[in-house]
Structure 1
Amino acid sequence: MLSPDSTSPAAALPFTMGPALLFCPADRPERFGKAADRADAVILDLEDAVAPGDKSAARQAIFEQVRDGGLEPGRTIVRVNPVGTPEFAQDIELLAKTPYRTVMLAKAEGAEQLRALAEYQVIALCETAAGVVNAPAIAAEPNVVGLMWGAEDLLASLGGLSSRNDDGGYRAVALHSRSAVLLAAKAAGKEAIDSVYVNIPDLEGLAEESRDAVASGFGAKACIHPKQVAVVREAYAPAPEAVAHATELLAAASAAGTGVFQFKGQMIDGPILKHAQSVLLRAGQLAL
């Protein structure tokens, strides 16, 4: 679950989300409400999902949607174009006229870029070589609430051809970047979001990757199609037996009152207890 950093200028704005985020092209306003209803948070995309000639119409669609009632600000993210582009300036001009204060910055590459969004909570999308290398400095910025990595844009920035091998698994450089962004986010106390799974019909592959994401520590995964949402949610939802085990384990830890103790033949220490707390947090039975 992603939440504002207490030192962020936008920290007073409530924003939380569950594990499944759904991208929605900003030039398709007829999909806004459906996307918001189906996912834990919707990402209105002004960048890659919108053709260059349609970006003005996309901004107008968001403005008109807000005028007609809008989406819930606490579950709405707007992906803006990269800092330094004419489109970015127009995106920010639009956002000032809306209640949306959580943005995803496309192709974030340096900490200084985040200062152009000081009034917003930012999910920095590290999807270039520079963005991945500079992820620790980006994550440290006070208005950054999370990092996401992007596989295909990353490989394009490297001059590569594909982020995945023929068997569907990530290439070594993509795995390194995924881990680097996760580590940078968590080291700064921020959330980490796993990249999209572009093979839409392959729900089994999505499920496997989502299970790995939650086991690795990613707090959410982005989706590009509504039918992916349920798969991600299922991967993040702990099994009933896992919840029961975690509950029993934490109760035993409280009763033991010591740093290390035995539980069902296993030696238990701090990291194991944190794993149990993570299970209950995902099950909604433990507060942050």
Structure 2
Amino acid sequence: MNNTLADLPGPALLFCPADRPDRYAKAVARADAAILDLEDSVAPEHKDRARDLVTAALADLDPDRVIVRVNAPGTPWWEADVAAVRAAGARLVMLPKAERPEDLEALAPARVIALCETAAGILAAPRLAASPSCAALTWGAEDLIADLGGTTSRRSDGTYHDVARHARSHVLLAAAAAHRPAIETVYLDLDDVAGLTKSSAEAAQAGFSARLCIHPVQVDPVRAAFAPDPTSVAWARGVVAAAQQAPSGVFRYQGRMIDEPLLRQARAILRRART
């Protein structure tokens, strides 16, 4: 299986608590996909009911725009979650605390977004991405820092600590090496729209295909940030058109030498524009 950006919804993927069925359809309509969350959003005493609610609702929701986040392997709910999503025919599943390819494959035939958020999961990212069940990789800064015994993923100026930056880059590289999409993690400050927009634009520029959102107010800024600006789209279209007329693999366009890496960047801009 060779998943591409076109195989996944995006760029704004919105979490929705699985024990709030009144929000399911709203989340699907609001974002590019809804992540019905059986893990962090649901208290332990409500998890069995939430699982039943999700599996009952899947038949009435667009299966290509719904992702079910199950509970992590080793938890009391893992086996029941696996059985439920398989029986319900869920097409997209998010696996938290992903560390072993065999856990992704246990969820087959669903395609799995592997959430790397432990030290073992970050180091296993290349093997997770290589799994035939892997649809994409994403990562989580706060769970990673907790796993490391730390207290915060960010410095006082708001930037990530080096270990979080390394984990993010490692996941992005592992996804690209396996030809899988990479999804940027959540942005926790709901009031900082400017920060969300800047962070999302940088993620798109670096190669991330989509972003996880924790509130509906984040959807539009993420979409706008991932959409290339008209100037970039015009440049990319010009480069691709010029390449078709170029007598060799290296050519001049608007005073700049264009070779294969820049041509691939132009094509990536056009893919984002279509998305």
Short-chain TM bin: over 0.9
In 2, are the aligned partners of 1:15 and 1:75 still within 8 Å (CA)?
Answer: no
Q: CA deviation at 1:65?
A: 2.3
Report the residue type matching 2:14 in the other structure.
L
What is the aligned partner in structure 2 of residue 40 from structure 1?
32
Distance 1:101 1:277 in 2: 28
Q: Does residue 74 of the first structure (1) align with residue 64 of the second (2)? A: yes
Q: Does residue 232 of the first structure (1) align with residue 219 of the second (2)? A: no
What is the aligned partner in structure 2 of residue 62 from structure 1?
54
In 2, are the aligned partners of 1:15 and 1:74 still within 8 Å (CA)?
Answer: no
Could you give the per-residue CA deviations for residues 127-165 of structure 1, whole angstroms, max 9, x where no partner exists? 000000111111111110110000100000000001111
Q: What 5-or-longer segments of structure 2 have no aligned partner?
A: none
Q: CA deviation at 1:249?
A: 1.4
Q: CA deviation at 1:95?
A: 1.3
In 2, are the aligned partners of 1:139 and 1:146 still within 8 Å (CA)?
Answer: yes
Q: What 5-or-longer segments of structure 1 have no aligned partner?
A: 9-13
Report the residue type matching 2:45 in the other structure.
G
What is the aligned partner in structure 2 of residue 202 from structure 1?
192
What is the aligned partner in structure 1 of residue 108 from structure 2?
118
What is the aligned partner in structure 2 of residue 11 from structure 1?
none
TM-score (norm 2): 0.95
Distance 1:261 1:101 in 2: 43
Q: CA deviation at 1:15?
A: 4.9
Q: Does residue 26 of the first structure (1) align with residue 18 of the second (2)? A: yes
Structure 1 residue runs of 4+, over 3 Å off? Answer: none
Provide the aligned C-alpha RMSD in A.
1.7
Q: CA deviation at 1:48?
A: 0.7
Could you give the per-residue CA deviations for residues 70-90 of structure 1, whole angstroms, max 9, x where no partner exists? 210011110011123220111
SS at structure 2 position matched to 1:97: helix
Distance 2:223 2:43 in 1: 30
Report the residue type matching 1:197 in the other structure.
Y
Distance 1:88 1:121 in 2: 17
Distance 1:15 1:251 in 2: 26
Distance 1:210 1:44 in 2: 22
Distance 1:141 1:83 in 2: 17
What is the aligned partner in structure 2 of residue 86 from structure 1?
76
> Taking structure 1 as reference, are residues 141 and 63 closer, same or farther at Cα in structure 2, changes over 3 Å only?
closer
Select 1:128's aligned residue among 115, 118, 125: 118
Could you give the per-residue CA deviations for residues 109-144 of structure 1, whole angstroms, max 9, x where no partner exists? 122322322322111000000000111111111110
Q: CA deviation at 1:257?
A: 2.9
What does residue range 142-161 of structure 1 map to in structure 2 within 5 Å? 142-161=132-151
Distance 1:88 1:278 in 2: 37
Q: CA deviation at 1:50?
A: 0.7
> Taking structure 1 as reference, are residues 248 and 125 closer, same or farther at Cα in structure 2, changes over 3 Å only?
same
Distance 2:60 2:14 in 1: 17
Distance 1:131 1:173 in 2: 14
The structure with the largest helix share of the pair is 2
TM-score (norm 1): 0.91
Select 2:258's aligned residue among 252, 268, 272: 268
Q: CA deviation at 1:100?
A: 1.5
Distance 2:52 2:101 in 1: 29
SS at structure 2 position matched to 1:48: coil
Distance 1:98 1:15 in 2: 20
Q: CA deviation at 1:51?
A: 0.9
What is the aligned partner in structure 2 of residue 190 from structure 1?
180
What does residue range 94-109 of structure 1 map to in structure 2 within 5 Å? 94-109=84-99
Select 1:279's aligned residue among 245, 269, 272: 269
SS at structure 2 position matched to 1:42: strand
Could you give the per-residue CA deviations for residues 14-41 of structure 1, whole angstroms, max 9, x where no partner exists? 9531211001010011110110001111
